[in-house]
Amino acid sequence: MPLTIPTERWTAHVQTATIGATEAEGGTRTSTVTIGGEQTLPFLHFEGETPNRPVIAIEVLDEQPSGWPEPLSRHYEDVWGDPVAWAQKAVEEFGADLICLRLVSANPEGSDASADECAETIQSVLNAVGVPLIIWGCGNDDKDNEIMPFCSQAAAGERCVLGSATQDNYKTICASALADNQMIISESPLDINIQKQVNILVTDMGMDLGDIILYQVTGGLGYGVEYAYSILERTRLAALDGDKMLQMPMLSIVGSEAWRVKEAWQPEEEAPEWGPLEKRGIIWEAATATLFLHAGTDILVMRHPEAVTHVRNHIDEMMSGQPV
Amino acid sequence: MGALTVTFEDYGIAAPAEAGETILEVATRAGVGIATYCGGHGICCQCQVVVTAGQVQPKHEAHWQQWPTPDGKGIRVLACQSVVTEDITVKVPIGSRAEDFVVHQMAPLKANLVDLSRFEPLSPLAQQFVLDLPKPTLEDSVTDMDRLRRELLHRETKLEPITIDLPVLRELPQALRENDFQVAVAVSDIGLARKISAIRPPAAADSSLGLAIDVGTSTVAVQLVDLDNGQVIGRAIRRNGQIAYGEDVISRIVWTQKSPEQLQNMHRAIIDTLNQLFSYLYNEYNATPDEVIAASVAGNATMINFLLRIDASPIRRSPHTPPATEIPVFTAEQLGLNIHPQGAVCVCHPAVSGFVGGDITAGVVATGMHEAEELALLVDVGTNGEIVAGNKDWLICASCSAGPAFEGVGVEAAMPATAGAVTNFDYNRDRDAVDYQTIGNQPPRGIAGSGLVEMIASLVEAEVIDRTGNINADFPSGRLQRSDDELGFVLFNADETAIGEPIIIYQHDIENLLRSKAAVLAAINVLLGKLALAPADIEHVYLAGAFGAGLNVDKAVAIGLLPDIARERIEVVGDTALAGAYLTLMSRQAREQARATVKAMTYLDLSSDTDFMDEFIASNFIPHTDLTRFPSVST
């Protein structure tokens, strides 16, 4: 007797979003990234269309980081004093679909870079690479509110994604996004209700539903990913069920979280049962990324080029619709 | 005692103090009323005083707080955290005075809640019979007790069995002979029997009074009633004196565990509160304690246990089982209550659980929802926040621990519903002005429960706050203030109020109120969810507790305190616990219904419910994260 595979028919689908604007669209990007549009849960091609493949953004910091484990830092030591060179390497050598530029130098407890300096960095990076840009603040609300309007203005016309709007601080970033036609990251502390609440607050301010990317704050593998997975999955299910406030594409920060965990940097002498340090961080990052991919993430923000390769191959396989 | 002196300037009192005592301790002993809700732990910040001469020492270095005064003279500190080590002079600002600890008149209860015609004929908790007894003879030589019984049963066979306590038995022979066997006999209904509680001259039967009592966690309310006809003679309310030991049941239970004397103090606090209320009513209405022969009490399990001086600590720990919920009828003298010493005190409304108490079952009986066809919801927004859903066929209840924000605790601008409390509030953005009403039409002293609901609705509509309750830092009005890193909004300027200071709502106050309302809405939603019911299925909502009859129910729905239910189905009912206590005072049938209702109620424990937390976060938004659930609220 032939086996009929039961299929779900969803009444709604995920919103589609295009990041980046080409010359014809008023920007200077040589490529754009279109995500979302899923009609069903991840990769169930027999059930519905997945018109756009998930993409990988590589993280670029605007100043040299410290404390990165050697297996990771060796790939960036030659460029990490210069965000332009870093971005170029990420695109040309490692194949990033987008660049996620973090303006860590603006942190008042660090270099306290000015709004003008940040704007200049953004302009340089935009001139150096043709892929779309995610622009993320330093994490200090007051400082981010100061620099974001300038950063957004520096990238006017390029359809960037500005990060991030939170429940307690969303007004400035929305105002900037509305003024310069940018998109925003809507951030939630791994709570599906708060995610929705932030979306309601920003749409009340005038943001269009189509200009929002969802971001739940998650840890790396081993640090509560089961719960994170369930929140992302619930979000995707709500979207497919028709909840307009949760229908946007999702983003997950993988690189920084995976490389923070001790499994990624503890020397072999101290943890011989964990195997070679060479591989650990890469596996950790690739596994975390894959996990979130299958929960429904559309943009993965990653670091290590090998992890990126593994994940990209995996996306190829999953998108081919063919058994592996 | 008293090597040092604390001079309370405004009161003209030079209070003796020992080195090491806090200002609050000295003040309490000297009769200077300083407000405190957290029991002196430095949390509620209500007990602010100004030290104008001398120095104080911090009780805890790490948590010391002090503020400058506007005129630069003296420092503002918390009385409970300031230790006296030398002579000092203290001013108690108006806003810190415990004036709520004064007895106030109370508005009448809604007529439909206290309609005795539901229970005709009347059978009050105690009644008096004037008896003309045949004197003992050789032929009729039954005992005094049997003589009484015989005559009483002639009058009313249903009084069987009849019993008597030792103190009254001791008085029996003299009482009969002194009055020539013509006596007024007071008989209490103690459930399993009737008990003779007094034998007095016939004139005593001219006046049979009773008390209906609601021992609320924050507010205690009492009604003086004529037992012969059910007429309410007077009503009074007062803050529960136990507030000095903690604002909620858990913090009070913790207090009683500090040492054995603390349970005695907790018990004394409620007895004193009640006796003060009784004295007020006796003075106002020319009554004496001996006329009051019965009292019916409603309250939650913790309040009742403290009233009886029973250790309530098992309530605090899982599985939260109270020592007792069905309480035997006892006498006033056993507790120290100032009514007739043998007067029957009946906790007529048993609790359902540690967290859904007799006050709620009283509310069920008062609203009559236990006898009705229609599906109703009783929402009691007090410190504990209980919900009951059901009808004559089934009843289910839950407690959501809402917190006393709407009762005026933990919100600086809030106050109980007494003279000067704002009950209706509307902020007009265009005029940057407030339209309002207060109790007694006096200048505002603070905001009452219904005023707080209307205030939130008004502020979110004017976009002073957003849907998460955040005050808009860019709001174009001089009312916006920033102090200590926190935003506030001036509701009334200093020259508009009765307290000489502005009335301001702060960011943390709004967060407290939203959390309270979120707990209530979440409890309702979870309860309905478990019953597979939608808000539209509810035919009648009884909103009880912290709100007066003037509350605009539209605003209650607009902020998401209640689900989006047709407004004409929502009835603001006030103190349903007191109404229930009144009904059980006057009717045996009501007393039986009260016990039956408790047995019929199923208790849903939200503390272990996985849906509640999720729903609570979703409800912590105005009106709710899922806006589709509030179609009639304009966005």
Same domain? B246 vs B130: no
- Where in the sequence is the domain holding A260, given as residue range(s)? 20-319
Residue A120 resides in a domain: yes
Residues B274 and B227: their CA atoms lie apart, in Å, by 20
The answer to whether residue A317 scores a pLDDT higher than 60 is yes
Same domain? B393 vs B478: no
The answer to whether residue B1 scores a pLDDT higher than 60 is no
Greatest CA span in chain A, whole angstroms? Answer: 70
Percentage of chain B modeled with pLDDT above 70: 97
Across the range B460-473, mean pLDDT stands at 95
In this complex, is the C-beta atom of A196 within 8 Å of any C-beta atom belonging to chain B? Answer: yes
Here the tokens at position A61 are: 């910091």
Question: Nearest-CA residue of chain A relative to B507?
Answer: A168
Same domain? B226 vs B129: no
Residue A142 resides in a domain: yes
Q: In what order do the strands lie in the sheet with B433-438?
A: B433-438, B421-428, B446-447
| Orientation of helix A305-320 relative to helix A277-295, angle to 10° | 40
In this complex, is the C-beta atom of B485 within 8 Å of any C-beta atom belonging to chain A? Answer: no
Residues B394 and B375: their CA atoms lie apart, in Å, by 10
**Band of residue B147 on the pLDDT scale cut at 50, 70, 90:** very high
- Residue B581's nearest CA partner among B223, B350, B296 is B296
Q: What does the pLDDT look like over B195-210, one tens digit per residue?
A: 999 999 999 999 999 9
**CB–CB of B101/B230 below 8 Å?**
no
**Band of residue B37 on the pLDDT scale cut at 50, 70, 90:** low
Across the range B315-339, mean pLDDT stands at 90
Percentage of chain B modeled with pLDDT above 90: 65
| Orientation of helix A225-240 relative to helix A192-204, angle to 10° | 50
The predicted structure's pLDDT at residue B99:
59
Separate counts of helices (H) and strands (E) for chain A:
11, 10
The answer to whether residue B512 scores a pLDDT higher than 80 is yes
Residues B340 and B330: their CA atoms lie apart, in Å, by 12
Across the range B73-78, mean pLDDT stands at 89
Ramachandran region, residue B316 (left: φ > 0; alpha: ψ -120 to 50; beta: rest): alpha
- Note whether B466 contacts A194, CB cutoff 8 Å: no
**CB–CB of B436/B549 below 8 Å?**
no
Same domain? B92 vs B144: no
Residues B542 and A221: their CA atoms lie apart, in Å, by 50
Residues 6+ apart with CB under 8 A from B139: none
Same domain? B296 vs B376: no
Side chain identity, residue B75: I
- Give the one of A168, A191, A192 whose C-beta lies nearest to B470's C-beta: A168
Interface test with B, best of A169, A193, A207, A209 (most B CBs within 10 A): A193
Greatest CA span in chain B, whole angstroms? Answer: 97
- Residue B318's nearest CA partner among B284, B353, B289 is B353
Residue B102 resides in a domain: no
Three-class DSSP category at B81 = helix
Which of B504, B534, B562 is where one domain is finished?
Answer: B504
Residues A249 and A213: their CA atoms lie apart, in Å, by 5
Percentage of chain A modeled with pLDDT above 90: 95
Tell me the ipTM for this assembly: 0.79
Across the range B165-180, mean pLDDT stands at 96
The predicted structure's pLDDT at residue A137:
97
- Mean pLDDT, chain B, whole residue set: 90
**Band of residue B450 on the pLDDT scale cut at 50, 70, 90:** very high
Q: Which residues of B touch A204 (CB under 8 A)?
A: 466-467
Q: Roughly how many angstroms between the first and final C-alpha of chain B, as a whole number? A: 64
Q: What does the pLDDT look like over A137-190, one tens digit per residue?
A: 999 999 999 999 999 999 999 999 999 999 999 999 999 999 999 999 999 999
- Note whether A194 contacts B627, CB cutoff 8 Å: no
Across the range A226-230, mean pLDDT stands at 96
**CB–CB of B630/B624 below 8 Å?**
yes
Q: Which residue has the higher pLDDT, B29 or B163?
A: B163
The answer to whether residue B584 scores a pLDDT higher than 90 is yes
Q: Which residues of B touch A200 (CB under 8 A)?
A: 467, 621, 625, 627
Beta-bridge partner residues of A187: A215
**CB–CB of B206/B235 below 8 Å?**
no
**CB–CB of B298/B214 below 8 Å?**
yes
Residue B354 resides in a domain: no
| Orientation of helix A115-128 relative to helix A83-92, angle to 10° | 30
Ramachandran angles phi, psi of B603, nearest 5°: -105, 125
Q: Which residues of A touch B618 (CB under 8 A)?
A: 193, 196
The three-point CA angle A206-A211-A214 to 5° equals: 110
Residue A166 resides in a domain: yes
Q: What does the pLDDT look like over A233-273, one tens digit per residue?
A: 999 999 999 999 999 999 999 999 999 999 999 999 999 99
Question: Nearest-CA residue of chain B relative to A198?
Answer: B468
If one counts the domains in chain B, the total is 5
The predicted structure's pLDDT at residue B167:
94
The predicted structure's pLDDT at residue A282:
97
Helices (H), ranges, A113-245:
115-128, 141-154, 171-180, 192-204, 225-240
Residue A7 resides in a domain: no
Side chain identity, residue B212: A
Half-sphere exposure of residue A62: CA atoms within 13 angstroms, side-chain side:
28
- Note whether A193 contacts B627, CB cutoff 8 Å: no
- Mean pLDDT, chain A, whole residue set: 95
Output DSSP code: residue B414: B
Beta-bridge partner residues of B13: B8
Across the range B30-58, mean pLDDT stands at 83
CATH code of the domain covering residue B273: 3.30.420.480
Question: Nearest-CA residue of chain B relative to A246?
Answer: B626
CATH code of the domain covering residue A27: 3.20.20.20
Q: What does the pLDDT look like over A189-201, one tens digit per residue?
A: 999 999 999 999 9
Question: Nearest-CA residue of chain B relative to A168?
Answer: B470
Here the tokens at position B8 are: 């309370």
Model pTM score: 0.82
Residue A131 resides in a domain: yes
Same domain? B231 vs B332: yes
Which of B471, B504, B537 is where one domain is finished?
Answer: B504
Q: What does the pLDDT look like over A263-287, one tens digit per residue?
A: 999 999 999 999 999 999 999 999 9
Here the tokens at position B339 are: 């009514």
Same domain? B255 vs B290: yes
Q: Per mean pLDDT, which range of A308-312, B93-97, B367-371 is the poorest?
A: B93-97
Residues B164 and A236: their CA atoms lie apart, in Å, by 72
Q: Roughly how many angstroms between the first and final C-alpha of chain A, as a whole number? A: 25
**Band of residue A323 on the pLDDT scale cut at 50, 70, 90:** low
Q: What does the pLDDT look like over A44-66, one tens digit per residue?
A: 998 999 999 999 999 999 999 99
For residue A188, give how far its alpha carbon lies from the nearest alpha carbon of chain B (Å): 12
Q: Per mean pLDDT, which range of A70-79, A301-310, B168-177, B625-634 is the poorest?
A: B625-634
Half-sphere exposure of residue B38: CA atoms within 13 angstroms, side-chain side:
15
- Note whether A193 contacts B474, CB cutoff 8 Å: no
Q: What does the pLDDT look like over B531-578, one tens digit per residue?
A: 999 999 999 999 998 787 788 999 999 999 999 999 999 999 989 999
Output DSSP code: residue B397: E
The answer to whether residue B70 scores a pLDDT higher than 70 is no
Same domain? B500 vs B545: no
The predicted structure's pLDDT at residue B270:
93
Side chain identity, residue A122: I
Separate counts of helices (H) and strands (E) for chain B:
14, 31
Q: Is the bond preceding B134 in cis, omega lying within 30 degrees of 0?
A: no
Residue-level length of chain B? 635
Residues A210 and A200: their CA atoms lie apart, in Å, by 13
- Where in the sequence is the domain holding B41, given as residue range(s)? 4-97
If one counts the domains in chain A, the total is 1
Q: Which residue has the tokens 């012969």?
A: B228
